[in-house]
Amino acid sequence: MTLRSALLVGLTLLCPAALAQRTPQELATALQKAARAGNVSAYRNLLAPDGTFAVEGANFAADLTRKPPRDVTYTFSDLRQQGSRAEADLTLAWTRVPGRTSRVTLPVQLVRVGEVWRYAGEAFEPIKTGTGTLLALKVPGLPERAGPLAPLLTRAAQEVKSVLGLTVPGDAVVKVYPDAPRLSASVYLSLPPVAGWNEPGEAIKLVMPGGSPGEVESETLRLLTHEFTHLAVGLAAGEGRDKRIPWWLHEGLANFAAHAFVSAPGWQAWQSRANAYARSGWISLAELADFPSVPEGRWDNAYRQGLGVVEFLAGTRGEEGPWHLAQAFAETGNADAAARAVDFPSFAALETAARSWLAAR
């Protein structure tokens, strides 16, 4: 093959992927095609390199491979273009649960790079705050409702420091959504509706609580403290090593840290659930270690058993016991070595002792 022929072949291969999105609607079609195919590289190539979705899009795309949404549709509407940038409403419709269509609409940003449009993620409005960055999804009324949350970021960070001795960075980014379906759809399409979310390197996401001002404050503090704990644990463990900490322990630490912002009846209900699992229905902690592989029907076990084990360690090994276990997991990636760090001969011995303690509580 001659050099000229090789160049022509290369251009032929590159043009459809690189130059197809000359309009926002062509971008929507390309996003939809990549999502349905579970094509990570194709999806990530459609993202704006400096958009709000540049980091979060990596995990979103990875989930497309795990559980491709074969029938997902991407539709842009109410397009508002200004030069090389545009805002629009993105409507996503797909089947997450068989027989039931999920549908959400998000305000999003688009960026034109040369002649090609790229997806830049959701559109947010910044809210002034003394600590970190607070962003509200740009939907009518939400930025005004989210304004009073600004002072709560500092209080939640202080609680994590007080309970676990871990530091929440002052530049933490918190994104507020109006409801769980829209938050979850921004994380990845296979995720059921959740009220809060955090992944290492990503912004914290939480749903704007409803109710009286007091209820909004306490629920926001609970959510923030929970998610700030995930952030602080990940940073303290070290890049990449946080993945060695089992999921049930991540959730147990986060729930434990948020204790002060849970009502007494709510906390008692969480403890009762853990105690009940210890007596009957306990799932091996090894089966609750890797979030993507844990069926949704066992999520409650991970949250409640995790909290129970953390309470057991705090009660029998002192306040630093739970974090010492997490640290040992991060350092060694070995369950038995982690258990020995908190004075148990093996992880099986730790799990048996925790379960017995909870069953008798």
3 state SS of 132: coil
Check: CB of residue 177 under 8 Å from CB of residue 207. yes
- State the amino acid at position 354 in one-letter form: A
7-25 burial string, b = 16+ CB within 10 Å, else e?
A: eeeeeeeeeeeeebbeebe
Nearest to 81 by CA among 121, 108, 50: 108
Q: Is the pTM of this model over 0.85?
A: yes
Distances from the Cα of 334 to the Cαs of 6, 321, 326, in angstroms?
Answer: 51, 17, 11
Distance CA 29, CA 110 (A): 14
Q: What is the DSSP pairing of strand 133-137 with strand 173-177?
A: parallel
What is the number of H-type helices and E-type strands within the chain? 14, 9
Q: What is the dihedral of CA 323, 218, 55, 229, to 10 degrees?
A: -10
Nearest to 350 by CA among 175, 122, 79, 326: 326
DSSP 8-state assignment for residue 47? B
Distance CA 84, CA 77 (A): 17
DSSP 8-state assignment for residue 87? E
Q: Which residues pair with 103 in a beta bridge?
A: 93
Q: What is the dihedral of CA 150, 156, 162, 165, to 10 degrees?
A: -100
Check: CB of residue 261 under 8 Å from CB of residue 292. no
DSSP 8-state assignment for residue 198? -
DSSP 8-state assignment for residue 137? E
Query: From first to last of its 361 residues, what are the pLDDT tens digits of the chain?
Result: 443 443 333 333 344 444 579 999 999 999 999 999 999 999 999 999 887 677 788 899 999 999 999 999 999 999 999 999 999 999 999 999 999 999 999 999 999 998 999 999 999 999 988 777 999 999 999 999 999 999 999 999 999 999 999 999 999 999 999 999 999 999 999 999 999 999 888 899 999 999 999 999 999 999 999 999 999 999 999 988 999 999 999 999 999 999 999 999 999 999 999 999 999 999 999 999 999 999 999 999 999 999 999 999 999 999 999 999 999 999 999 999 999 999 999 999 999 999 999 999 9
Q: Which residues pair with 137 in a beta bridge?
A: 124
339-361 burial string, b = 16+ CB within 10 Å, else e?
A: bbbbebeebeebbebbbebbbee
User: How confident is the model at residue 12, as a pLDDT?
Assistant: 35
173-185 burial string, b = 16+ CB within 10 Å, else e?
A: bbbbbbbbbbbbb
